[in-house]
């Protein structure tokens, strides 16, 4: 079973025995070896290796190298003689995850072991999410596992090869630009231009000439002719962002482009034809604008051939862990920072936030957090939200190399247990498996946390190595 199994490699028999008994009573399953040659065949089934550095025959450092060359991922904790810090440092450089200096207290031993296992769990969990992300929840670079996003991917796949007009609706930061580009990329037009027209950014009096171009002498200062955005997009895609802000006189001309693919440059009566695919986006409800008479009904229906509504992030929180991981990975690479993992508790903080700025705000938050984080792993205090929402008390902004300030291992263990239960939808056997515990061991911990009556404690006590 997947009880956490520890391999102890120690030549001194008495010490080996003491450690074994102690760890067994703490609920671990133990394997022992007196030298590397005996240890090697056992290592592949261990969840953690605790090894002396000075061993007869092959020494501990060689052992670490051998474990690595065999691809064994279990964390290794080395035990060193008093005063031999250099050896410990050497072992850490080779990949040991921690060290214990002899003589050590048994309590300290438990702490170090649990810390290493917690870390291993976190790494494995992040890796699992990453694998899922890579294989299932990504369309190009667009991440989504919620039903809404998967439906959108599906629509994008179906609509991309056609010339159908698409109307993207959603709050700012939900990914409208991204989806528009994906549609273009998956269309036969991908080798032609994708021209983005930001309708709010263009002053009203310049809009017509920007969109449709002008001929020499069309207005004072028009010394040369200039093609507009639609001509630039010929053969490709025109993306009209914030379409709700287009003034009435332009709306008529857009309607004509959509119906006939024809227009005239400003100051010219020569009719031009273009082959464009139109994608429009809006972050306001166009129907309200319709009712108020600010938006033409005929244009609305021409645009709304294939509507894609992207829900705000707060309505698809299943996407959050995957988006967060995606940004941690992408931004760590871009920023050259070391933080590469994110703790379940930090993910919880992200899930709790309402994200008024949607995915854009999440991306910025992760970037800021990565830049300011102190360790390899983003912990709750490392998450710098734009507007802290009260329920997370003052973060000092400093965190210890491993456990954030003010947190204890016990606290951390409890967070992991809660997270496992959450992911297992409360199923204890499943949660226990994720944590590498027996169901009884999990129950025992839950009763200690006051989350379950200790009634069945007697059935497991601390003898969990059955």
Alpha-carbon distance of 234 to 319, in angstroms, equals 36
Of the residues 45, 73, 127, 172, which one makes contact with ligand ADP according to CB under 6 A: 172
C-alpha 132: how far from its chain's center?
11
Q: Which of 105, 81, 123, 112 is nearest to 6 (CA)?
A: 112
Assess 357 for contact with ligand ADP (CB under 6 A): no
Which partner in ligand ADP, Mg ion, none is near 443 (CB below 5 to 8 A by kind)? none
Q: Pick the closer one to ligand ADP by CB: 208 or 242.
A: 242
Closest CB to ligand ADP among residues 22, 150: 150
Minimum Å distance from CB 322 to ligand ADP? 8
Q: Among ligand ADP, Mg ion, none, what binds residue 174 when CB lies within 5 to 8 Å by partner kind?
A: ligand ADP
SS3 339: coil
**12 contributes a contact to Mg ion by CB under 5 A:** no
Residue given tokens 């630009």 in the structure block? 177
360 forms part of the interface with Mg ion (CB under 5 A): no
Q: Which is nearer to ligand ADP, 117 or 320 (CB)?
A: 320
Note whether 29 and 5 are within 8 A (CB). Answer: yes
**Could you tell me which stretch among 23-31, 94-102, 140-148, 420-428 binds ligand ADP (CB under 6 A)?**
140-148
Nearer to Mg ion, 169 or 299 (CB): 169
Could you give the CA distance from residue 39 to residue 451 in angstroms, rounded to a whole number? 39
Which residue of the chain is nearest ligand ADP when measured via CB? Answer: 175
Output the smallest distance, CB 140 to ligand ADP, in A.
9
178 touches ligand ADP by CB under 6 A: yes
Asked if 142 is part of the footprint of ligand ADP (rule: CB under 6 A), the reply reads yes
Closer CB to ligand ADP, 29 or 242, in the complex: 242
**174 counts as binding ligand ADP under rule CB under 6 A:** yes
Q: Which stretch in 58-66, 142-150, 205-213, 284-292 sits in contact with ligand ADP by CB under 6 A?
A: 142-150
- Nearest one of 413, 348, 345, 344 to 4, comparing CA atoms: 413
Decide: 344 and 415 in contact? Cβ < 8 Å.
yes
Q: Which of 445, 462, 435, 443 is nearest to 3 (CA)?
A: 435
What ranges in 70-105 are assigned the alpha helix state H? Answer: 85-93
* Residue with nearest beta carbon to Mg ion: 177
- Phi and psi torsions of 452, nearest 5°: -155, 145
**Given the rule CB under 6 A, which of 173-181, 203-211, 382-390, 404-412 is the region that contacts ligand ADP?**
173-181
Which one of 60, 75, 144, 381 is in contact with ligand ADP (CB under 6 A)? Answer: 144
Inter-CA distances, 416 with 117, 248, 432, 436, 446, Å: 11, 57, 11, 12, 12
What distance lies between CA 115 and its chain's CA centroid? 23
Q: Report the alpha-carbon distance of residue 188 to residue 205 in Å, rounded.
A: 34
> What is 214-272 written as a DSSP string?
B-TTSSTT--S-B--HHHHTTTSEEEEETGGG--HHHHHHHHHHHHHSEEE-BT---EE
> Which of Mg ion, ligand ADP, none is residue 143 near (CB under 5 to 8 Å by kind)?
ligand ADP
Say how far apart CA 106 and CA 15 lie, in whole Å. Answer: 11
**CA angle 174-177-183, nearest 5°?**
115
CA-to-CA distance for 221 and 217, rounded, in angstroms?
7
Pick out residues in 169-198 that bind Mg ion (CB under 5 A).
176-177
**Residue of 129, 143, 421, 464 interacting with ligand ADP (CB under 6 A):** 143
| Residue 363 binds ligand ADP (CB under 6 A) | yes
Verify binding: residue 312, Mg ion, rule CB under 5 A.
no
Question: Cα separation of 419 and 435, whole Å?
Answer: 10
* 3-state class percentages of the chain: helix first, strand second, coil last, to nearest 5: 50, 15, 40
Q: Is residue 381 near ligand ADP by the rule CB under 6 A?
A: no
Contact 178, 138 (CB under 8 A): no
Q: How far is the CB of 22 from ligand ADP (least distance, A)?
A: 47
Which one of 64-72, 135-143, 288-296, 380-388 is the stretch in contact with ligand ADP (CB under 6 A)? Answer: 135-143
Among the residue ranges 40-48, 75-83, 171-179, 344-352, the one whose residues contact ligand ADP (CB under 6 A):
171-179
Q: How many CB atoms lie within 10 A of CB 365?
A: 21
Q: Round to whole Å and give the CA distance between 286 and 42.
A: 66
Given candidates 175, 228, 236, 436, which one binds ligand ADP under the rule CB under 6 A? 175
| Region 302-341 residues binding ligand ADP, contact defined as CB under 6 A | 323, 326
Question: In whole angstroms, how close is the CB of 258 to ligand ADP at the nearest point?
Answer: 21
Decide whether 43 or 240 has the Cβ nearer to Mg ion. 240
First to last CA, the chain: 10
Measured from the CB atom, the residue of 102 and 186 that comes closer to ligand ADP is: 186
Q: Look at residues 67, 64, 45, 46 and name the one whose alpha carbon lies nearest to residue 55.
A: 64
Looking at 154-162, 296-304, 355-363, 425-433, which segment touches ligand ADP (CB under 6 A)? 355-363
Q: Which residues bind Mg ion (CB under 5 A)?
A: 176-177
Q: Which residues bind ligand ADP (CB under 6 A)?
A: 141-144, 170, 172-178, 323, 326, 359-360, 363
């Amino acid at each position: 079973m997947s009880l956490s199994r520890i391999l102890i490699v120690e030549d001194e028999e008495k010490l080996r025995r003491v450690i074994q008994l102690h760890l067994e009573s703490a609920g671990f399953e133990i394997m022992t070896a007196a030298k590397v040659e005996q240890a090697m065949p056992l290592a592949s089934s261990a969840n953690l290796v605790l090894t002396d550095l000075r061993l007869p025959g092959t020494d501990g450092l060689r052992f670490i190298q051998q474990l690595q060359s065999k691809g064994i991922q279990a964390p290794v904790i080395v035990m060193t003689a008093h005063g031999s810090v250099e050896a410990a440092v050497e072992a850490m450089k080779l990949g040991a995850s921690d060290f214990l200096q002899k003589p050590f207290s048994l309590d300290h031993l438990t702490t170090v072991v649990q810390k290493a296992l917690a870390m291993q769990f976190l790494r494995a969990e992040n890796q699992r999410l990453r694998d899922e992300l890579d294989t299932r929840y990504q369309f190009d670079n667009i991440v989504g596992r919620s039903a809404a996003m998967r439906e959108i991917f599906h629509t994008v796949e179906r609509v991309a090869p056609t010339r159908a007009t698409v109307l993207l609706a959603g709050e700012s930061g939900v990914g409208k630009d991204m989806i528009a580009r994906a549609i273009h990329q998956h269309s036969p037009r991908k080798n032609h231009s994708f021209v983005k027209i930001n309708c709010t950014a263009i002053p009203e009096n310049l809009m017509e000439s920007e969109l449709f171009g002008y001929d020499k002498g069309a207005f004072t200062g028009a010394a040369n002719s200039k093609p507009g955005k639609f001509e630039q997009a010929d053969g490709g895609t025109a993306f009209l962002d914030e379409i709700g802000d287009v003034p009435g006189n332009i709306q008529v001309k857009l309607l004509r482009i959509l119906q006939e693919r024809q227009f005239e440059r400003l100051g010219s009566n020569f009719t031009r034809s273009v082959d464009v695919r139109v994608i429009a986006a809006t972050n306001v409800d166009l129907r309200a604008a319709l009712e108020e008479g600010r938006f033409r009904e005929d244009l609305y229906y021409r645009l709304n051939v294939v509507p894609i509504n992207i829900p705000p992030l707060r309505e698809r929180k299943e996407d959050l862990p995957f988006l967060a991981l995606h940004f941690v990975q992408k931004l760590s690479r871009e920023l050259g920072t070391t933080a590469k993992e994110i703790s379940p508790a930090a993910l919880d903080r992200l899930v709790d936030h309402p994200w008024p700025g949607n995915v854009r705000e999440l991306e910025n938050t992760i970037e800021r957090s990565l830049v300011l984080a102190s360790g390899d792993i983003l912990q709750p205090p490392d998450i710098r939200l734009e507007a802290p929402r009260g329920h997370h008390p003052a973060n000092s902004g400093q965190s210890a190399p491993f456990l954030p300030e003010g947190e204890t291992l016990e606290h951390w263990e409890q967070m992991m247990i809660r997270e496992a239960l959450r992911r297992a939808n409360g199923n204890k056997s499943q949660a226990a498996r994720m944590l590498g515990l027996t169901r009884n061991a999990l129950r025992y911990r839950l009763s200690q946390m006051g989350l379950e009556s200790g009634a069945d404690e007697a059935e497991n006590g601390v003898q969990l190595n059955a």
